[in-house]
């Protein structure tokens, strides 16, 4: 081959290598950036008066006087809207039956759309579900709902070869010639006066319990559940893992038995996470009956088994990286083997062992599949510490799945989902980051 | 007097020489302690046995009830029917499809990244590249699933054609250009006359480049015109899974590459090889078994992943038409276990419940054997490289 071609090949080879690392970095950014930007929106957003009303009624937060003042200002415009509605209803009564029926069928959706936008209308029976007691609490969502109020969404099926297309019909044109026509431009123009958007910082998102299955409120039950599950798993797995690592590094003799133990370790590390879930269900719940049905305890035990191999490996590596001279010095002073392990080797290896533990803690917090059958419920309040042996808990990982794919109003509460994902990702990444920093410090220290 | 002295002597010496009884006690404590340690260390092995046992115990009743045939040969999956049908062929096929798709994407990229990390990047840059890979590995699978479902799937559905076209251009154009250069160089290599060779090579280059461009454009326009009916499909899942299995592949193959010593590389350089030639012809063959182990682990990561496929694969149990159509919704083993258990555990003891354990057993057996193989490979490579 030509030397020039060889050089080009060499350069492009390097470029491919750089390229794939760049792709990984870009992929990381593509995944993280929307999660972070949208997730932040669950705490910092433009809230409407409905949000403040909701906070006041459901959580008893907010200033009574200010809210009353705001309410009065908003009520001024609401009254005009209600006035238009009742004027139209009166007009309906004067119409012929056929025309009246026609308008009534169109008027229903208008009322519903208005209700989702600004909250319950006067004269309606009080809603049972909390979600119908308030209008839009977030201004961004309110603008979307305004569009739904102004335009009817229709689908065009005329071309059978292509996918149906969405198009919008202005509602105002449908009510041409009636008194209701005025309503649409009025709402469009005065929505800000009615809903009074204001920049809001809602830290309660992290510390409040959820209201009406996450339509309002925060994600505290999930955060707490994740904490219980992950810490519970560590309580079981960490001591076991460290002791097993001590055995493997200090006591085990090469041989058939030892190689079986090692194979078992790597087999356990390779078991698909959903199979752990099956095992947890079949063993901890159906056979051992650690609890009646799903419980935090069963979930923690399942997670503990899952993270055990990681902890053992990390602890082994940490123990092996302790310089041999430490051990020899201790033994030459007449210390017993056990004493050497407890007073010299383990303290020196401790930072490394903790690094492994922290990474495993993050893994336990982020896993979903093992807890589906053993610990997670979709709706629930925060549980007390005494209930961990008997009751299941909501958890961040499970509820992200549940809200995004099974919730009946999944598209309405994207901000909650993003907030949950961001919380989970930041918990896991912060744990990992601290592990990375810790490891960097150790390697500096060992280098001297 | 004498006895008193002796007593004193032995009393004094007791501080240095352990009495027989005390030594016995110590030995007992030592063996006792060691056996406790051993017990705890073998806990992992016991757990593995238990997992096999308890998954198998709940899987066997399914095969007793329905036999093996339907599970592996039929693709009618109607577990809730009366009587239920449990053909898992399409589900197994779906699992294989996304695993293959993600492997095709992640293996070349992972090996290239591993080579870059071990041989190309200077140490100072490597320090910043490694945390990126670790972060990619640390992000919980449900977060990837959420991304796939809420962000990527709608994007693929609305702008799928242009995205595919851009991806095709970015990925294929450089490689095709390179191939054109290499082919035209190889074809003219036999010509003796320097001048003529350059001329012919230039002409060939131009012709091939035009051909390649036409090919690129043609495939690109076909891709752009594609209509994607659903964003939650096998392609979406394959792409996301490939990024999830990348960290495993990169870190294991980097270890394998590092294990190939400096002397081999230096020998190759001394013979006048470029870095690319050294890596491709010397380092990669020496590390091939370790890289194979990395690929196996990466495949297992993709096969065993639950949340992403559950959320973003569409969960439709059928074999796509035609069989390689990655733009259709599919269903996988893991997603079926996760999704169907919610209803099936109300009917514990039925075929509907046990068939999920049968799927779990299938996954478990596959993961067990691939782990065994990859472990064997790594051990063998270590032995060969250490010259035994």
Report the chain B residue with the minimal C-alpha distance to residue A258: B42
Distance from CA of A248 to the nearest CA of B (A): 7
Decide if B318 is inside a domain. Answer: yes
pLDDT of residue B100: 95
pLDDT at B6 over 70: no
pLDDT of residue B186: 82
Residue of A164 and A316 predicted with greater confidence: A316
pLDDT of residue A441: 81
pLDDT per residue over A12-29, tens digit each? 888 888 888 899 999 999
B57 close contact with A: CB closer than 8 A? yes
Decide if B196 is inside a domain. Answer: yes
Q: Is the peptide bond before A73 cis (omega within 30 degrees of 0)?
A: no
pLDDT at B74 over 50: yes
Are residues A393 and A220 in contact, defined by beta-carbon separation less than 8 angstroms? no
pLDDT at A360 over 90: yes
Contacts of B190 in chain A (CB under 8 A): none
pLDDT per residue over A262-271, tens digit each? 889 989 999 9
Strands, E assignment, B48-104: 77-78, 85-86
Report, as an integer, the average pLDDT of A158-178: 80
Residue A201 vs residues A51, A65, A325, A421, B375: alpha-carbon distances, Å: 11, 20, 56, 19, 52
pTM: 0.90
Collapsing DSSP to helix, strand or coil, A323 comes out as: coil
pLDDT at B388 over 70: no
B310 close contact with A: CB closer than 8 A? yes
Tell me if B306 and A23 make a contact (CB, 8 A cut-off): no
pLDDT of residue B91: 93
* Residue reference for tokens 């449900």: B142
pLDDT at B7 over 50: no
> Which of A395-404, B62-71, B139-148 has the weakest average pLDDT?
B62-71
CA distance B59 to B52: 10
Report, as an integer, the average pLDDT of A232-236: 94
Orientation of helix B351-385 relative to helix B43-66, angle to 10°: 140
Listed by number, the residues of chain B in 115-144 with a beta carbon closer than 8 Å to a beta carbon of chain A are 115-117, 120-121, 129, 131-136, 138-144
Are residues B311 and B281 in contact, defined by beta-carbon separation less than 8 angstroms? no
pLDDT of residue B379: 82
Contacts of A286 in chain B (CB under 8 A): 348
Highest mean pLDDT among B195-204, B252-261, B358-367: B358-367
pLDDT per residue over A98-111, tens digit each? 888 888 888 888 88
Decide if B183 is inside a domain. Answer: yes
Give span(s): CATH 1.10.3720.10, chain A: 220-447
Side-chain half-sphere CA neighbours of B3 within 13 A: 0
pLDDT of residue B315: 87
CATH of region A220-447: 1.10.3720.10
Decide if B99 is inside a domain. Answer: yes
B51, B112, B185: residue with CB nearest A20: B112
Please list, in sequence order, all residues whose beta carbon lies within 8 angstroms of the beta carbon of residue A401, skipping any fewer than 6 positions away: A368, B142, B145, B146, B307, B310, B311
CA A162 to chain centre: 36
Where is B152: in which H helix or E strand?
A: none
pLDDT of residue B17: 61
Q: Report the sign of the C-alpha dihedral through residues A422, A426, A427, A429, in that order.
A: positive
Q: What backbone torsions phi and psi does residue A294 show, to the nearest 5 degrees?
A: -60, 145
Collapsing DSSP to helix, strand or coil, A170 comes out as: strand
Tell me if A31 and B279 make a contact (CB, 8 A cut-off): no
ipTM over 0.85: yes
Decide if B207 is inside a domain. Answer: yes
Structure-token pair, residue B93? 């096929």
CA distance A439 to B61: 49
B375: domain CATH number is: 1.10.3720.10
B44, B113, B305: residue with CB nearest A24: B113
Tell me if B140 and A7 make a contact (CB, 8 A cut-off): no
pLDDT at A230 over 90: yes
Decide if B36 is inside a domain. Answer: no
B37, B132, B140: residue with CB nearest A24: B132
Q: Confidence band (pLDDT; 50, 70, 90) for B36? A: confident
What share of chain A has pLDDT > 70, as a percent?
99
pLDDT of residue A242: 93
CA distance B163 to B220: 10
Residue of B18 and A32 predicted with greater confidence: A32
pLDDT of residue B57: 93
Domain of residue B310, residue span? 58-385
pLDDT per residue over A368-402, tens digit each? 999 999 988 887 777 888 888 888 899 999 999 99
Tell me if B110 and A20 make a contact (CB, 8 A cut-off): yes
pLDDT of residue B385: 72
pLDDT per residue over A37-57, tens digit each? 999 999 999 999 999 999 998
pLDDT per residue over A86-96, tens digit each? 888 888 888 88
Structure-token pair, residue A314? 């990390």
pLDDT at B15 over 60: no
Supply the DSSP string of A246-264, one letter for each residue. HIIIIIPPSSHHHHHHHHH
Structure-token pair, residue A8? 């080009």
Beta-sheet pairing, A216-217 with A210-211 = antiparallel
Q: Report the sign of the C-alpha dihedral through residues B309, B315, B321, B323, in that order.
A: positive
Q: What is the DSSP letter of A46?
A: E
- Size of the A and B interface in Cβ pairs below 8 Å: 271
pLDDT of residue B9: 47
Q: Confidence band (pLDDT; 50, 70, 90) for B174? A: confident
pLDDT of residue B10: 47
Q: Return the bridge partners of A217, or none.
A: A210
Distance from CA of B210 to the nearest CA of A (A): 19
Distance from CA of B228 to the nearest CA of A (A): 10
pLDDT of residue A447: 65
Q: Confidence band (pLDDT; 50, 70, 90) for B16? A: low
Q: What backbone torsions phi and psi does residue B119 show, to the nearest 5 degrees?
A: -120, -25
CA distance A371 to A398: 8
How many structural domains comprise chain B? 1
pLDDT of residue A315: 94
């Amino acid at each position: 081959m030509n030397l020039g071609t060889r050089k080009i090949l060499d350069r492009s080879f390097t470029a491919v290598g750089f390229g794939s690392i760049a792709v990984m970095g870009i992929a990381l950014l593509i995944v993280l950036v929307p999660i972070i930007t949208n997730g932040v929106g669950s705490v910092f957003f433009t809230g409407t008066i409905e949000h403040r009303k909701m906070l006041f009624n459901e959580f008893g937060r907010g200033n009574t006087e200010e809210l009353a003042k705001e309410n009065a200002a908003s009520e001024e415009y609401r009254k005009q809207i209600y006035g238009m509605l009742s004027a139209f209803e009166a007009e309906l009564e004067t119409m012929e039956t056929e025309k009246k029926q026609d308008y009534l069928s169109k008027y229903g959706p208008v009322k519903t759309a208005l209700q989702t936008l600004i909250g319950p209308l006067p004269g309606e029976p009080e809603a049972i579900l909390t979600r119908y007691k308030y209008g839009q609490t977030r201004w961004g969502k309110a603008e979307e709902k305004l569009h739904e109020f102004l335009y009817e969404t229709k689908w065009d099926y005329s071309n059978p070869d292509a996918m149906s297309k969405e198009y919008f019909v202005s509602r105002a044109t449908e009510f041409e010639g009636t008194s209701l026509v005025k309503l649409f431009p009025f709402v469009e123009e005065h929505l800000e006066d009615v809903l009074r958007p204001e920049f809001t910082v809602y830290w309660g998102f992290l510390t409040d319990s959820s209201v009406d299955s996450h339509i309002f409120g925060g994600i505290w039950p999930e955060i707490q559940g994740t904490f219980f599950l992950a810490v519970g798993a560590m309580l079981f797995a960490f001591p076991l893992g460290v002791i097993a690592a001590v055995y493997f590094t200090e006591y085990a003799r090469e041989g058939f038995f030892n190689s079986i133990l090692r194979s078992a370790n790597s087999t356990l590390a390779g078991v698909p996470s959903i199979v752990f879930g099956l095992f947890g269900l079949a063993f901890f719940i159906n056979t051992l009956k650690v609890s009646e049905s799903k419980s935090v305890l069963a979930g923690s035990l399942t997670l503990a088994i899952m993270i055990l191999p990681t902890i053992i490996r990390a602890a082994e590596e940490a123990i092996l990286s302790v310089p041999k001279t430490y051990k020899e010095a201790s033994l030459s002073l007449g210390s017993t083997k056990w004493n050497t392990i407890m007073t010299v080797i383990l303290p020196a290896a401790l930072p490394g062992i903790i690094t492994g533990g922290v990474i495993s803690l993050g893994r336990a917090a982020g896993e979903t599949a093992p807890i589906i059958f053993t610990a997670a419920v979709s709706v629930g309040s925060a549980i007390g510490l005494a209930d961990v042996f008997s009751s299941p808990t909501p958890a961040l990982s499970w509820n992200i799945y549940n809200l995004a794919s099974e919730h009946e109003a999944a598209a309405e509460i994207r901000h909650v989902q993003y907030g949950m994902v961001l919380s989970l990702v930041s918990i896991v990444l912060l744990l990992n980051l601290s592990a990375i920093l810790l490891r960097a410090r150790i390697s500096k220290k060992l280098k001297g | 007097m004498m006895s008193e002295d002796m007593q004193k002597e032995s009393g004094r010496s007791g501080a240095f020489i352990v009495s027989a009884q005390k030594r016995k006690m110590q030995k007992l404590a030592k063996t006792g302690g060691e056996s406790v340690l051993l017990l705890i260390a073998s806990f992992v092995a016991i757990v593995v046995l238990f997992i096999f046992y308890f998954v198998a115990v709940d899987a066997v009743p399914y095969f007793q009830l329905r036999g093996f045939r339907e599970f592996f040969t039929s693709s009618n999956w109607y577990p809730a029917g009366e009587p239920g049908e449990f053909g898992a062929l399409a589900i197994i096929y779906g699992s294989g499809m996304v695993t293959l798709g993600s492997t095709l994407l992640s293996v070349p990229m992972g090996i290239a990244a591993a080579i870059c990390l071990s041989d190309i990047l200077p140490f100072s840059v490597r320090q910043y590249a490694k945390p990126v890979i670790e972060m990619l590995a640390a992000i919980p699978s449900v977060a990837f699933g959420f991304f796939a479902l809420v962000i990527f799937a709608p994007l693929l559905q609305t702008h799928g054609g242009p995205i595919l076209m851009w991806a095709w251009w970015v990925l294929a154009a450089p490689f095709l250009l390179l191939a054109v250069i290499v082919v035209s160089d190889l074809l003219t290599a036999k010509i003796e006359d320097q001048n003529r060779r350059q001329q012919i090579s230039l002409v060939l280059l131009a012709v091939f480049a035009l051909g390649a461009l036409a090919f690129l454009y043609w495939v690109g326009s076909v891709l752009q015109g594609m209509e994607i009916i659903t964003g939650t499909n096998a392609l979406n899942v394959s792409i996301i899974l490939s990024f999830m299995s990348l960290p495993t592949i990169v870190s294991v193959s980097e270890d394998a590459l590092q294990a190939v010593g400096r002397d081999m590389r230096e020998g190759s350089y001394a013979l006048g090889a470029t870095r690319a030639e050294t890596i491709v012809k010397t380092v990669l063959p020496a590390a091939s078994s370790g890289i194979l182990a990395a690929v196996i682990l990466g495949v297992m990561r993709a096969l065993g992943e639950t949340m992403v496929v559950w959320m973003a694969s569409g969960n439709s149990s059928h074999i796509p038409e035609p069989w390689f159509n990655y733009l259709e919704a599919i269903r996988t083993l893991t997603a079926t276990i996760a999704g169907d258990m919610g209803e099936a555990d109300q009917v514990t003891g039925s075929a509907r419940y046990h068939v999920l354990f049968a799927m779990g057993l299938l996954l478990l057996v596959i993961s067990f054997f691939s782990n065994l193989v990859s472990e064997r490979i790594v051990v063998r490579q270590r032995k060969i490289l250490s010259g035994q």
